[in-house]
Amino acid sequence: MPRSNFTPAAALFRHCLKKRRITAGLTQRSLAARLNRPQSFVAKYESGERRIDVVEFLEIAEAVGFDPSELIRELR
């Protein structure tokens, strides 16, 4: 299976992450500050330019304030 950031599943994952960030009232800059990362980190994974690993996903979930298992269920 090819690893692509532009499959429908990857696009849905990115959309869900961005939706949760916006719902939490966070900008890319404010989320990046919570993660101690540059704003470009958030911009790149939201646009599909960069993949995130499981550890980063869990850090993002904690910083935004959502249960990561709920997002995973939404993707199924």
pLDDT of amino acid 43:
99
Domain span including residue 66:
11-75
Q: Flag whether 3 is in a domain.
A: no
Structure-token match 């939201």, residue found: 46
CA–CA distance, 58 with 67 (Å, rounded to integer): 9
Q: Flag whether 2 is in a domain.
A: no
Q: Flag whether 28 is in a domain.
A: yes
20-70 pLDDT, tens digit per residue, is 999 999 999 999 999 999 999 999 999 999 999 999 999 999 999 999 999
Q: How many domains does the chain have?
A: 1
Pair of tokens at residue 58: 């869990």
Give first-to-last CA distance, the chain, whole Å: 18
Long-range contacts made by residues 1-10, C-beta under 8 angstroms, separation at least 24? 3/51, 5/48, 5/49, 5/50, 5/51, 6/48, 9/75, 10/48
74, pLDDT greater than 80:
yes
